[in-house]
Each structure stands twice: as C-alpha cells, then as structure tokens.
Amino acid sequence: MTFSLVLHCNLYPTSSVPGSTHTRGTRSPAPREEEPADTRPSTNARRAHQDQERDNMRPSRGLHLAVLLLLFSASVLLPAARAQEETDEEEEFSYLLDAENGPAHWGDIKEEWSTCGKGNMQSPIDLASPRVSLVRGLGYLNHSYVPANATIINRGHDIMLKFEGDAGSVSIAGTPYFLRQLHWHSPTEHSVNGRRYDMELHMFHESAQGKAAVIGVFYEVGAHDAFLHKMEPYLEMIADRKDREEKMGMMDPRDARGKASVYYRYLGSLTTPPCTEGVIWTIIKRVRSVSRHQLELLREAVHDDMEKNARPRQEVNSRDISMFRPFEQNRH
C-alpha cells in the first residue's frame, strides 16, 4: 500500500512566478520623462515596497503548519499500513476451527486453494485398521539420505528445516524422490484408529517431475529426541519471529527418520493450502519419543503463539490404505 502526498502550494504571488506575463503591483513602463525631484519615491518608500514583495513571496505560517501536519500523518500512516499488510499475509489461513480463515474455509480464501474444500483425496486421514490392507509387495523403504547443510526457518504456521543441496532421496516404485525439507505439526495430523499423538514430523520429498512424497513420523512425550536436541538453541533464536531463519550447518536426516520398517501407504494431498492432491504418503508406524521441553519449544516458536497447527482429519472416501510389514515382524 502506497500513500502519495501531493501539495499544490503557490509559494509565489502571481507577480513573482518565473515566466509570468503579468506583474501585479507594478505598472507598464511609462514614457521616459524626467520627474520632478520632489515626486520620486523616497529611499524609505522603496525599501518598504521591496519588503512587502519579499513578504508576499514567503509561505504563510499556516501553510508551514499544514505541510508539517501532512508529513507527520504520513509518517504515522505508512508504517501502520505496512504492518497491516504483514498481518494480513500472516493470517491468510488459520488452524482455529471457528475462524473465518480456518480449515473449513481454506478452499474459499483463494481460487487456487479450492481443492482444500472440493478435493476427494485430501490429507490427513485416520488410519483405521478395518481399512488397512497388508501389502508386503511394497517392500522396505529404500532411502539414501546423507548429511547436508540446513537452515531453520520460522514460517509463522510451522518450523521448517530446509536442506541446501543434496540431502539424499527415497525410492518409491522405482522413482527417486529427493528430500527438500522437514517440518512439524502438533498434535499429529494423521491418527491411528482415532488416536492422535503429540507431534508429527513431515519429511517432504520431490521427484524430478515435481511430484511430491511425504514421510510422516509420530512422536509422543517421553525421553528427549537427539535430532531435535541439536535444534534447540536455534529454535530459541527464531521463536515468535516469522520468516526469521538461521544457518544450522550439517544435519543428518537419517537421525530424524529413525530405523523403523513398518509403515502405512496411501495417496493424499498436502495438508496446508493449496492442498494439492496426488501426494504419496508414507506414515511410519513406530512412534518416536520427544521431551516435553522440546515439544513446547516447537509449539511456542511458532508466530502468534499458534500452539496447534494440525489440520482436521479428512474423509477417506474410496481410497486404499496399505501397510508394509516384513514377514518376521508381528508387531510395530
């Protein structure tokens, strides 16, 4: 938003505007005649006349005050306008259920977000046992993660760890999906037989063709998590500071995922606007542990004290939910 102040101030009387063809207060040159000495203007009279013209050329005190008031108003309004724009941007969507921009209304906020309200393959969902089919043919998750430089970013609605360069990939049906970033939701967005855990990690991957695949990892409060422990000082640095980012150095994504082999698989969507569908979801069944302090750090670091950033569960509709479990595994 831009405010333009245009002041149309005639600081010169008509007689003094450069280029004017009229001269108020002066007469056309008279024929050159010698005036009697006693009829010529006195020196004092000429000075008085010159002083009057100078006064006419000066802006009035009232005009000065008007200009100062306008400039002061601009200095107050412009920052306020920018702050309002930032607030509007930050509040484009909300997780508050009763808010006008809450999850039930995401699809109405923007044309390009309409899938959030009209899609039939939305995420998250409840992984209910009666709907789950055991499909051993899915095979083990074949990943090749490597340590990479990472930057932690407060996105306002979540905390993201963005990898710079190659952090490795996971192979799904023969296609490599490259790891781009990690972010967290609290409580979990997906549930198992109606149960939600304390927190959910999303490991976002993308193929060379731009297709998305996300690996989800559940946490519940208990012992501290070693990967999150490395993030703690950086979380404090970006707490409640939207768009603030800090370089973290090398981070190993293998420490975030863990070594569990049992997982769920289904086709869904992004869980934030624009809710794009066609996302391959892999949810690790084993639940990791996170300390209450680490959980609170992730919650409180989010801008505007948005402690909960989990989208409500969506309808499964006619989708298949598969599970991979090795032959030797009867649990986990």
Please indicate, yes or no, whether residues 63 and 190 belong to a single structural domain of this protein.
no
Please indicate, yes or no, whether residues 63 and 206 belong to a single structural domain of this protein.
no
Best-predicted range by mean pLDDT among 23-27, 246-250, 304-308? 246-250
Asked whether the predicted pLDDT for residue 155 surpasses 60, the reply is yes
Band (pLDDT 50/70/90 cuts) for residue 263 is very high
Please indicate, yes or no, whether residues 84 and 115 belong to a single structural domain of this protein.
no
Distance CA 282, CA 263 (A): 6
Burial (Cβ within 10 Å: 0-12, 13-18, ≥19) of residue 237: middle
The structure tokens 């690790």 sit at: 284
Which sequence positions are flagged as catalytic? Answer: 157
pLDDT tens digits along 23-36: 344 444 444 444 44
Please indicate, yes or no, whether residues 79 and 143 belong to a single structural domain of this protein.
no
Please indicate, yes or no, whether residues 184 and 256 belong to a single structural domain of this protein.
yes
Task: Assess if residue 99 is contained within a domain.
Answer: no
How many domains in the chain? Answer: 2
Task: Assess if residue 27 is contained within a domain.
Answer: no
Please indicate, yes or no, whether residues 151 and 86 belong to a single structural domain of this protein.
no
Instruction: For residue 137, give its domain range.
Output: 111-324
Please indicate, yes or no, whether residues 213 and 117 belong to a single structural domain of this protein.
yes
Please indicate, yes or no, whether residues 80 and 126 belong to a single structural domain of this protein.
no
Please indicate, yes or no, whether residues 122 and 208 belong to a single structural domain of this protein.
yes
Please indicate, yes or no, whether residues 116 and 77 belong to a single structural domain of this protein.
no
Please indicate, yes or no, whether residues 82 and 154 belong to a single structural domain of this protein.
no
Task: Assess if residue 2 is contained within a domain.
Answer: no
Task: Assess if residue 97 is contained within a domain.
Answer: no
Whether residue 283 contacts residue 160, with contact meaning beta carbons closer than 8 Å, is answered with no
Please indicate, yes or no, whether residues 162 and 69 belong to a single structural domain of this protein.
no
CA 307 to chain centroid, in Å, comes to 16
Whole-prediction pTM value? 0.72
